[in-house]
Structure formats: C-alpha cells, structure tokens
Chain A
Amino acid sequence: MWLFDRDLWREVFNTLSKNLFRTFLTMLGVIFAMIILMLLLVSANGMSNGFNKIFAGTASNSLFVWGQSTSEPYKGFERGRRINFRLEDASILKEQIPEIEVLAPRIELGSHRAVVNVYRKGRTSGSSVYGDYPEIDDITKKKLVEGRFLNQLDIEDSKKVCVIGEETFKLLFDKNEKAIGQEIRINGVFFQVVGMYKPNNNINIDGENAVFIPFSTFQKAFGSGDRMGWMAISVEANTPVPMVEKEIKKLLKNKYDVSPADERAIGSFDMSEIFNNISAFTTVLKGFSFFIGIFTLLAGVIAISNILLITVKERTKEIGVRRALGATPKVVKRQIVIEAIVLTAFAGLIGFAISVGILSLLDAQWGSGDDFPFKNPMVSIVQFGFSFILMVGLSVLIGLIPANRAVKIRPIEALREE
C-alpha cells in the first residue's frame, strides 16, 4: 500500500523541500483561497443563524386570521359589513381542518392596536390588553423574566391574573419594585400580576407594552360574550400554510355569508412566507458563497499545478534517470500527484487553521453581543469536509496534468537534456 510507503513520502518531501520558498509561495494561493472560502461560508452561516435568532420563538408554520369588512355584496348583504368571529369558530375550524395543530383565539380590548388605560397606584400606562389562551405561547413564545405565563387553570377558573410586558412594568412600577403578586386595574377590574416578559429583539406581534389576561376572564370582566378578535394558528409540520389558510377562509366565508370572491372580508398573515423568503435568501447566499469559494480554490489549485509543471520541467533529467533505473510511468505519475495532494492538503489545512483563528478572534470580540448580525459564525463539519474533499479531488485531477507531462518525457530525451 503506497499510503504507508515511507520511502515514497520521503521522496515527496525531499522534492518539495528542495525549494522551500517557492513551495510556500505556491501554497499561499490555496491558503488564501481556503480562508476566503471559509470566511464566506461562515458569513453566510452566521447571517442565517442571525436571522434564526430574530425569528426564534415564533412558530414558522403559523398564520394569523382576523375579520375585516366585506368588499362585495353577497346573499342580500351590502358591502362594508363588518365580520366578527365568534369563539365557536375556533372549535369548528379545529374540528374540520385536521392540519391545524394549535389554534389560539384572542380578543383585544378596544379596537385593534387600541390603547387602554391600565392603572396602578395613581400611575397609568396606555397598553394593549389581550384576552388569551395559554396555547398562544406555542406560537409566539414569550421570554419571561419573572413568574409564569397564563395556564389552563386560569382559563377554567376565570382567574383575575395577568402577564405584563416589561414596558408596562416600567410605566406602572418603580424600578426596584416586585411586580409579581401586585395588582393592576383595567377598566375598573383588578388583576394580579403573575408574570412579566421582556422584549426579545425579534418579531413581536403583540408589542412590549401589553397585558395578557385569560380569555374567559376577559369575557366576564369586559362582557365580550362569545366575540373573538383574531386567531393565531399553527399548522402541522410539512403542511403548506397557504393551503390551510385557503381552507380556513373558505370555511369562514361560508359561515359568515361572504362572497367566495371577496378578498378583503377576512384578513390573514402567513408567517411561513417570510420564513420561506428568508431561508431562500440565505440558501442562495450560502450557495453563492460556496460557488465563489470553490472557484477561488480552483484558482489556487491551478497555481499548484502550474508550479508542478515547472518542477517537472526542471526535473526532466532526474525523471529520465529514474526511468532508466526502472521507475515505471505509474511510479513517476503517482509521486507527482501525491506532491500535488500534499501541497494542496497542507495549504488547505493551514488556511483552515488561520480562518478558525480569525473567527475565534471575531467571536471573542463581538460574538456574544446582541447587536452582532452574525450568530455562531462557524462552518459545519460537513461543509469543511466537503470543501476539503473537493479540494483534494481537484488537486488529484489537476496534479495529473504535470504528472502526465512527466510521463510523456521519454527517458532518452530526458537524459539528453543538459
């Protein structure tokens, strides 16, 4: 097995170390190419991780549905009729559309994005107030700093409890006060604070100045009956959200006597669309940077092939002597290809080590900061392995050029060369 042939390796290193400076210069191309490839990949990965960070906590396969006003007359109804969902819609939808995983109805005090005065000990905050089911936490995750989120018991007992945002806390409490266990007043009803969440720099549908109370409590306290503002819905993985969205709308249009052609009566927002766009963007970016990197690498490997061609030319006579002494073309070829592989692999590893150094330096400097657009800027083992194998593969292919040149030299011509 040639791989363990000590003499072969000695031959290879002997020839490579004959002109160390030139060998180093040759390797420089591949070293830089490897650094560029790694940094490009890392940037793309880091950017993709950064996006993921922004979207962390929001179920990607989710949509939101709410009622608006009709834009077309239908079944004797005039246009401009307001569509108000009822709580029963939630169970109807869940029952009829099996793809729905979680459905969290929500109601908002006042009109959409309205500000309600929340009181506490003479202070007020203009906050959004939502009646919610605990399931909402599965769709838009809240980062709790203290206490807990709403739970099933709160709903069942219609407990007068609430979860508040950090902004709301700042408006209603002193800095060093404890919010948990304290009471706040909304429209004359007192609620006990059981949890506080903090903004998490990512997609925030509810705003930070908000108060969440159990849906059932909302109904009783504010007399909303069975009205429902909107629904947050997550669908099963691998089910396209637009398909479910269509079904939901069809069902609701039918129920509320809305023209099937009316695009405005029921509003919806498909989160998956954003995710898909962004993941498509990052995929393209990754592919593109890989493409550029690989071609840079190719350029580096070609430089190695070039220098090996020169070496072959210089060693014409030596190769002739070797062949006169009984070196078969295969042996000559193998040595040159191995030289190409050794040069490339070694240079690639150096480049890799340097880029890892640069990255850990960057990471130490900015890595943990929230403002850093990249998160975890590292390449995966797979990416590295793939680049490395590709690089060595290229070097074999390209090493064959000087190797074949060396074999083509006939020993007699090689010996004649002075």
Chain B
Amino acid sequence: MIKIENLHKSYKMGSNSLHVLKGINFSVEEGELVAIMGSSGSGKSTLLNILGMLDGLDEGSYILDGVPIKDLNETKAANYRNKFLGFIFQSFNLINYKNAMENVALPLYYQKVGRKERQDKALKYLEQVGLKDWATHLPSELSGGQKQRVAIARAMAAEPKVLLADEPTGALDSTTSYEVMDLIQKINDEGNTILVVTHEPDIADMCKRIVHLKDGVIVEDKKVKQVRASQYV
C-alpha cells in the first residue's frame, strides 16, 4: 500500500539546513495498523506530513497504492489527499461553525458528491463512530472524545486508502484515549490501513506494528502482539 525508499528531507533554517529524515526505507501492507514512535525531533511528524502529501520530499521515492507520488502541484496534491488519505489530527481540527454532520461531509463536498448522498454517507459514518444522535451539534457542544470521533468519521467518509493519525490521543485523557483507540482498532479490523503517530507506548502497543524513529532514521521496526483497547473501556 505504501512504499518508501531512501527518503530524505531537510529544512532550511536561515543559512544552515536541518537534515530531518536521513534515508527512510519503509513499506506498509494493506490492512496494517502501524504506530510511528519517536521523541520530539525524531522526524515522525515530518514523515507523516510527507506521507500525507502535506509536505514534499527532497530525495527518494514514495509510492502510494501503486501511484508514484512526485512532482505534485497543490491541485494534484489536494486531489490525491482527497482520494487516498484520511487525516486525524491531535487537535481534531473540526470546523467550528459546522455541525458534526457537515464536518464529516466536507471531504465528500470536495469530491463533488451530491448533497443528498453526502448527508447519507456522513450520517452512516457518524453512526459508525456512535454519534448519529449528535449529527446536528456544533463541535463546541461536543466533548474531546466526541470531537475526535467526529474527526475519525470525517477521515473515513471519503473512503480513503490510508488513514493517517497524528497523535490522535494527544489531547485526550487516558479513558477517552482508549475509547478512540478502540474505534481505530475496529476500523482496522475491517481491513483499513492506518498509520498512527504517537509518543505514548501504551497507544503504540495497541497497534500491530511499531516503527521507532530516532534522529531521522528507523532504529526499530517490529511486529507486536496487539493490545485490545476494549478491555480498558
């Protein structure tokens, strides 16, 4: 599903440049649930941004679902993001003047899906995250966990190839975190490919594979026995 070879990325900081990713080789099969771990500055967010086509790469290749991702202009990147990827952010990033359903329907709007179908799909995914009754509520009327579940529904709505979650539990207490992880696991159980960036070991243990990043290189890549989040809920 994802194939990355010899990925390099550096940022210019004034006159000197900061080499953040120093040759990453990494691939993900369909249906995997991968945790990307590392301390801050290890390059995990940069990797996720490149995977999410929010940032370009300097060197190397990136193939997503058989499509080489290169020479992206903004329009192309936007279309690929819309088609291939679903994003889950640490701070939820819901649009605060749109209700839950409208937020979930937003990626579909950019796919030019008709209004009625959009609403039906949005409701379907809200139901899947258990928030159907909250469809008309604004984000400000939802709890943190609920917001993240709306965000997950939104990421799923476009039926992407890969879900990218950047510290999805970073802004939540542990109980809520486990609820969200439970949801992510269930989505994974249905065969969806998910990448989770986290620095919390207990969250990483709930994935099926952990990739450790340190100073821009992968220092460890291991399959783990998944801890089910449902036992904590």
A residues whose Cβ falls under 8 Å from a Cβ of B: 6-7, 14-15, 18, 317-318, 320-331, 407, 410-412, 415, 418
Q: In the bound complex, what is the Cα–Cα distance between A34 and B78 (angstroms)?
A: 40
Q: In the bound complex, what is the Cα–Cα distance between A410 and B50 (angstroms)?
A: 13
Q: In the bound complex, what is the Cα–Cα distance between A14 and B103 (angstroms)?
A: 13
Contacts A407-B74, A412-B55: A326 and B89 contacting too (C-beta < 8 A)? no
Find out whether the CB atom of A326 lies under 8 angstroms from the CB atom of B98. no
Contacts of B78 in A (CB 8 A): 323, 326-329
Q: Which of A330, A331, A412 has most chain B Cβ within 10 Å?
A: A412
Find out whether the CB atom of B154 lies under 8 angstroms from the CB atom of A329. no
Find out whether the CB atom of A331 lies under 8 angstroms from the CB atom of B54. no
Contacts A411-B54, A412-B55: A325 and B115 contacting too (C-beta < 8 A)? no
Contacts of A324 in B (CB 8 A): 52, 54, 81, 87, 93
Interface residue B39 (Cβ < 8 Å from any Cβ of A): no
Q: In the bound complex, what is the Cα–Cα distance between A407 and B111 (angstroms)?
A: 19
CB of B112, distance to nearest CB on chain A (Å):
10
Contacts of A326 in B (CB 8 A): 78-79, 81-83, 107, 110-111, 158
Interface residue B33 (Cβ < 8 Å from any Cβ of A): no
CB of B160, distance to nearest CB on chain A (Å):
10
Find out whether the CB atom of B91 lies under 8 angstroms from the CB atom of A328. no
Contacts of B74 in A (CB 8 A): 323, 328-329, 407
Which residues of chain B from 53 to 86 have any CB-CB distance to chain A below 8 Å in the complex? Answer: 54-55, 74-75, 78-79, 81-83
Contacts of B107 in A (CB 8 A): 325-326
Find out whether the CB atom of B110 lies under 8 angstroms from the CB atom of A331. yes
A-B contact pairs, 13 of them (CB 8 A): A7-B115, A14-B98, A318-B95, A325-B154, A326-B78, A326-B81, A326-B82, A326-B110, A326-B158, A328-B74, A329-B78, A407-B74, A412-B54
Contacts of A329 in B (CB 8 A): 74-75, 78
Contacts of B106 in A (CB 8 A): 322, 325
Q: Mark B120-142, 1 if CB is under 8 A from A, else 0.
A: 00000000000000000000000
Closest A residue to B75 by beta carbon equals: A328
Interface residue B97 (Cβ < 8 Å from any Cβ of A): yes
Which residues of chain B from 195 to 212 have any CB-CB distance to chain A below 8 Å in the complex? Answer: none
Closest A residue to B110 by beta carbon equals: A326
Interface residue B10 (Cβ < 8 Å from any Cβ of A): no
Q: How many residues on the B side are at the interface (Cβ–Cβ under 8 A)?
A: 26
Interface residue B109 (Cβ < 8 Å from any Cβ of A): yes
Q: Which of A320, A324, A418 has most chain B Cβ within 10 Å?
A: A324
A325 in complex: contacting residue of B55, B75, B82, B97, CB < 8 Å? B82
Contacts of B158 in A (CB 8 A): 325-326
Find out whether the CB atom of B49 lies under 8 angstroms from the CB atom of A412. yes
Q: Which of B74, B75, B107 has most chain A Cβ within 10 Å?
A: B74
Q: In the bound complex, what is the Cα–Cα distance between A339 and B150 (angstroms)?
A: 28
Binding site secondary structure of chain A: helix
A320-B93, A324-B93 known, 14 other contacts, Cβ within 8 Å: A7-B115, A318-B95, A325-B87, A325-B106, A325-B107, A326-B78, A326-B107, A326-B110, A326-B111, A327-B78, A327-B110, A328-B78, A329-B74, A331-B110
Q: In the bound complex, what is the Cα–Cα distance between A14 and B115 (angstroms)?
A: 17
List of 8 A-B pairs having minimum Cβ-Cβ separation, nearest first: A326-B82, A326-B110, A412-B54, A328-B78, A321-B93, A325-B107, A328-B75, A329-B74
A14 in complex: contacting residue of B79, B83, B97, CB < 8 Å? B97
Closest A residue to B166 by beta carbon equals: A415
CB of A317, distance to nearest CB on chain B (Å):
7
Contacts of B87 in A (CB 8 A): 324-325
Contacts of A410 in B (CB 8 A): 54-55
Q: In the bound complex, what is the Cα–Cα distance between A322 and B103 (angstroms)?
A: 10
A415 in complex: contacting residue of B54, B95, B111, CB < 8 Å? B54
Q: In the bound complex, what is the Cα–Cα distance between A317 and B95 (angstroms)?
A: 9
Contacts A326-B111, A328-B75: A415 and B89 contacting too (C-beta < 8 A)? yes
Closest A residue to B46 by beta carbon equals: A412
CB of A19, distance to nearest CB on chain B (Å):
11
CB of A173, distance to nearest CB on chain B (Å):
81
Closest A residue to B106 by beta carbon equals: A325
Contacts of A325 in B (CB 8 A): 81-82, 87, 106-107, 110, 154, 158
Q: In the bound complex, what is the Cα–Cα distance between A323 and B52 (angstroms)?
A: 11
Q: In the bound complex, what is the Cα–Cα distance between A321 and B109 (angstroms)?
A: 14
CB of A322, distance to nearest CB on chain B (Å):
7
Q: In the bound complex, what is the Cα–Cα distance between A395 and B54 (angstroms)?
A: 31
Find out whether the CB atom of A328 lies under 8 angstroms from the CB atom of B115. no
CB of A284, distance to nearest CB on chain B (Å):
50
Closest B residue to A320 by beta carbon equals: B93
CB of B159, distance to nearest CB on chain A (Å):
12
Contacts of B75 in A (CB 8 A): 328-330
CB of A319, distance to nearest CB on chain B (Å):
10
Which residues of chain B from 139 to 191 have any CB-CB distance to chain A below 8 Å in the complex? Answer: 154, 158
Contacts of A7 in B (CB 8 A): 109, 115
Closest A residue to B55 by beta carbon equals: A412
Contacts of A318 in B (CB 8 A): 95
Q: In the bound complex, what is the Cα–Cα distance between A329 and B83 (angstroms)?
A: 16
Contacts of B82 in A (CB 8 A): 325-326
